[in-house]
Amino acid sequence: MKKIAKAKIDDLFKAISEKEVLYLPVDDAQGQAAFIPWKEGLKMSGDLNTVRSAKDLFFPQVESLVNFKMDGKKLEIIDAKRENDPFVIFGVRPCDAKSFEILDKVFYYSEPVDSFYIARRDKSTVVVLACNEPEETCFCQAFGIDQAEAAGGDVSAWEDGENFYFKAVTEKGEALLEGLPLEDAEDGAADDIKKAAKAVMEKLPLRDLDLSKFGAGKTQELFDDPAWAKLSESCLGCGTCTFVCPTCQCFDIKDFDGGKQIRRFRCWDSCMYSDFTQMSAGQPRPTQKERFRQRFMHKLVYYPDMHEGMFSCVGCGRCLRKCPIHMNIVKVIKTIGEEK
């Protein structure tokens, strides 16, 4: 295990950014955190979570796929893929780290592979930082995530009042820590921090969310549940929950004709939008009820069906904090889970 004094953290960031691009959660003018490349003078955000999750760095909101040139009947395909430099993401929370695993199952391990995602994923080194001060909206424990353990990345990190502690988990992590201005620390250095964090975890109001009603094979049971109508009735149909969600993975492919070239890009899309499934021939999800149901069924039933029972939610609590009308996955789980 290694450590560095908090007062010297800028030296560490500097040393990392000399090797690779370093993404760090930083507060913007309005106090909202986002992962941005570190440069001299930027301070790490004290927020528990960024507004948009770290998935943005692997599966960005907008990404060029390919360009075209059209000249009468002739068409030319122009490669739009950009090479990525290796990069480090510092301060990913354990919930977000778990979300990478969920996205990996879709983009990395399913055929055909997503070369855009893989290129970024392979070039990243993830430093996961344990949470000492989780919020009341955190329910990652329900999905088996231990916020004290900082697992799921290449390096696990802990902080206390004075120091940051690091432990490499993978070879990539070891390579990162190599040559950084860190001091040695004994192996149990973070134990007290973990203990304190675990004590806090016991106090979280949503810690024992009951998921037994959900999971693979529950489609028939839950699809026609009358509660969907009530739950979705005030949903505005905006995309806030999907865009702040670390595990939402749906996208749209769009063309933009700029006159000189036609750009085909992929961008995040939301199943909450009315045009998500709109065809010229009809609309299989005509009201907000169907769209709302799709989102939560996907996270709690369909995804587990497709991926060995794993839920597509990590309990980060972003949707609890950001939904304009405060409807969220916890209310869905509780309402439907407590029925009968």
Partner 1 sequence: MQAVIKKKAKELLECGTVDRVLGWKAGEFFYDLTPAVFTTPEEIDKDFVFSVFSGANMSKYLIEETKKEGKVAAFIKPCDSYSLVQLQKEHRIKRENCYIVGIACDGMCDMGLVREAGIKGATAVSEKDDKLVLETIYGEKEMPKEKALLERCVHCKSKKVVDFDEMIGENGEENPDCGRFDEVERLEAMTPDERFAFWRSQLSRCIRCNACRNVCPACSCEKCVFDNPDSGIAQKAAASDFEENNFHIIRAYHVAGRCTDCGECSRVCPQNIPLHLLNRKFIKDMNELYGFYQAGADFETKPPIMNYTTNDAEPSVVYQRGGSK
Partner 2 sequence: MYQDALIPKLGVVTQIRVETPDVKTFRVIGIDGQKPFVHIPGQCAMLSIPGVGEALFSITSSPTVEEYIEFSIKKCGCVTDWLHSMEEGQQITIRGPYGNGFPVDTDFVGKDLLFVAGGIGLAPLHSVINYCRAHREKYGKIDVVYGSRSMADLVDYKEILDDWMKEDGIDVHLTIDNAQPEWDGHVGFVPNYVTELNPDVSKTVVMCGPPVMIKFTLAGLMDLGFDRKNIYTTLELKMKCAIGRCGRCNIGSKFVCKDGPVFRFDELDELPNEY
Partner 3 sequence: MQVKENFTPTIVAFCCNWCSYAGADLSGNNRLEYPANVKIIRIPCSCRLNPMFILRAFQRGADGVILCGCHPGDCHYTTGNYYARRRMTLLFSMLDYLGIEKERTRVEWVSAAEGAKFAQTMNEFVEAVTALGENKRLEDLRCKQ
With respect to partner 1, which residue has the nearer C-beta, 56 or 101?
A: 56
Stretch that binds partner 1, among 179-187, 219-227, 238-246, 293-301 (CB under 8 A): 238-246
> Cβ neighbours of residue 113 under 8 Å, at least 6 residues apart?
107
Residue of the chain from 88, 140, 327, 336 that contacts partner 1 (CB under 8 A): 327
278 near partner 2 (CB under 8 A): yes
DSSP 119-151: HHHHTEEEEEE--SS--TT--GGGGT--TTT--
CA dihedral sign of residues 340, 326, 150, 148? negative
Q: Is the dihedral of CA 323, 326, 329, 332 positive or negative?
A: negative
265 contacts partner 1 (rule: CB under 8 A): yes
Q: Which of 78, 234, 283, 339 binds partner 1 (CB under 8 A)?
A: 234
Residue list 63-82, contact with partner 2 (CB under 8 A): 65-66, 68, 70, 73-75, 77, 81
Rounded Cα distance between 297 and 44, Å, is: 36
User: Cβ 307 to partner 1, closest distance in Å?
Assistant: 26
Give the footprint of partner 1 on residues 267-306 (CB under 8 A).
267-270, 273-275
- Residue 199 class from Cβ within 10 Å (0-12 exposed, 13-18 middle, 19+ buried)? exposed
Q: Tokens for 261?
A: 């070239």
Q: Which residues bind partner 2 (CB under 8 A)?
A: 65-66, 68, 70, 73-75, 77, 81, 106-107, 110, 112-116, 118-119, 219-220, 223-224, 249-253, 255-257, 262, 264, 266, 269, 271, 276-281, 284-285, 290, 294, 297-298, 301-303, 305-306
